[in-house]
Structures are given as structure tokens and as C-alpha cells.
């Protein structure tokens, strides 16, 4: 049952045990087979939001980058093994979530996440009168909001999973 739940989670969020993988990654079981750890996708990313997971394969890590995933496709074009395939739509199922540590939920004025969101997917009540919230229908999982949060309150679904 737990295995079925994990499989469903991977299916929904595009994240394996070392995920989330780069956008347009094929399903995790085949990704680990196809990817040769060549790092071509990591080197091709202009936003530097790809890095190595604990298993040596690439993962999406927006907090470590200089921006967000712009879905430019450079990582896919650099991959010569078929581990990333731009024909897959959508590129992933990642969505941002806000945890209890949001400063705005504790009376502190902050809207850094809302200001950087290119999709206008984040709402923050004015004057520190409530925590930020994400409209999952608008969110693309780009990660712009993750690194700018001073409280590290935002994560992408699946990101917190540790590598087995
Ligand atoms: S789509 Fe572009 S910005 Fe996003 S991870 Fe790939 S190379 Fe980086
Ligand atoms: S940036 Fe972080 S602390 Fe500030 S409103 Fe957004 S989630 Fe809350
Ligand atoms: S991950 Fe979602 S909520 Fe965060 S900046 Fe990107 S689109 Fe906006």
C-alpha cells in the first residue's frame, strides 16, 4: 500500500527519491536507466537551477540557482540519451506550497514570494494579516519563490524527499 502511495506521488509530482528531476524527465524508473550522469543538462541551464542529487543524477534545485526555471528547454536539447523528452506535457507536476513558517502569517509584513512569481499565483493578505497561499492552478513549479523566501517557508511538492 505504501509502495502504491509512493508510486502515485511520483506520478503526480514528477519527483523520485532524489527528485525532483529536470523538467520533461521521463518517469523515474526509466530516467535512472537512461541518464548517464554526463551533466550536460546541468551545464546547459542558463539559470543554474540544476544540480546533482545524492545519487549523482541531476535534480532541480531552484534555491541554489540565480533564477527560476524558465522552461527554455536548453536542458532537454543538451541531453543526448532520451532521459529528458520535450514531447512530454506538462514538463512536470511540481507545485509550490507554503509551510507554517511564513512570516506574513506571524504579523510580519513580507510579500517577497508574490513579487517574484511570474504567474501571479501567490496571494498574501496585506499588513501581515495572514500567510501566503499558492493557487495550484496557476503555479507552474518554476521555483522563483523558493529561494527568495527569508523564512525558507516554500517548497515544491516532492522536493523534500530524501534520496534512498
Ligand atoms: S528548462 Fe531551461 S531554465 Fe529550466 S531547468 Fe532546463 S535549462 Fe534550466
Ligand atoms: S516570502 Fe516567505 S515569509 Fe514572505 S510572504 Fe512569502 S512565504 Fe511568507
Ligand atoms: S513556483 Fe509557482 S508560486 Fe512559486 S514563483 Fe513559480 S509559479 Fe509562482
Q: Tens-of-pLDDT digits for all 164 residues of the chain?
A: 333 333 333 333 445 567 799 999 999 999 999 999 999 999 999 999 999 999 999 999 998 877 899 999 999 999 999 999 998 788 999 999 998 799 999 999 999 999 999 999 999 999 888 999 999 999 999 999 999 999 999 999 854 444 54
Is the same domain home to 74 and 100?
no
Q: 100 in a domain, yes or no?
A: yes
H helix runs in the chain, sequence order:
2-13, 28-34, 40-44, 74-78, 112-116, 144-148
Is the same domain home to 64 and 103?
no
Is the same domain home to 73 and 26?
yes
Is the same domain home to 108 and 142?
yes
Nearest CA to ligand 2 atom 7: 102
Ligand 1 pocket, CB under 6 A: 22-23, 44-45, 47, 49-50, 69-75
Q: What is the pTM of this model?
A: 0.86
Is the same domain home to 63 and 108?
no
Distance (Å, whole) CA 91 – CA 98: 22
Ligand 3 pocket, CB under 6 A: 68, 96, 116-117, 119, 121-122, 134, 139-145
In this predicted structure, what is the pLDDT of residue 1? 32
Cβ of 83 closer than 6 Å to ligand 2, yes or no, is: no
Domain end, chosen from 15, 44, 78, is at 78
The total number of structural domains that make up the chain: 2
Domain at 108, CATH number: 3.30.70.20
Cβ of 144 closer than 6 Å to ligand 2, yes or no, is: no
Cβ of 112 closer than 6 Å to ligand 2, yes or no, is: yes
Distance (Å, whole) CA 97 – CA 141: 10
Residue span of the structural domain in which 24 resides: 2-78
Q: 122 in a domain, yes or no?
A: yes
Is the same domain home to 57 and 115?
no
In this predicted structure, what is the pLDDT of residue 160? 43
**ω into 90 cis (within 30 of 0):** yes
Distance (Å, whole) CA 74 – CA 150: 29
Q: 85 in a domain, yes or no?
A: no
Amino acid at each position: 500500500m505504501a509502495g502504491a502511495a509512493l508510486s502515485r506521488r511520483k506520478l503526480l509530482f514528477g519527483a523520485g527519491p532524489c527528485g525532483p528531476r529536470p523538467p520533461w524527465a521521463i518517469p523515474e524508473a526509466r530516467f535512472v536507466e537512461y541518464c548517464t550522469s554526463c551533466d550536460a543538462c546541468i551545464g546547459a541551464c542558463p539559470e543554474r537551477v540544476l544540480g546533482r542529487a545524492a545519487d549523482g543524477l541531476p535534480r532541480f534545485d531552484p534555491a541554489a540557482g540565480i533564477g527560476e526555471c524558465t522552461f527554455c528547454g536548453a536542458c532537454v536539447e543538451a541531453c543526448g540519451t532520451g532521459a529528458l523528452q520535450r514531447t512530454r506535457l506538462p514538463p512536470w507536476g511540481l507545485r509550490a506550497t507554503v509551510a507554517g513558517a511564513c512570516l506574513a502569517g506571524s504579523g510580519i509584513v513580507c510579500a517577497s514570494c508574490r513579487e517574484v512569481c511570474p504567474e501571479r499565483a501567490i496571494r498574501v493578505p496585506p499588513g501581515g494579516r495572514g500567510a501566503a497561499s499558492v493557487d495550484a492552478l496557476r503555479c507552474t513549479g518554476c521555483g522563483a519563490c523558493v529561494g527568495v523566501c527569508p523564512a525558507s517557508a516554500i517548497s515544491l511538492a516532492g522536493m523534500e524527499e530524501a534520496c534512498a
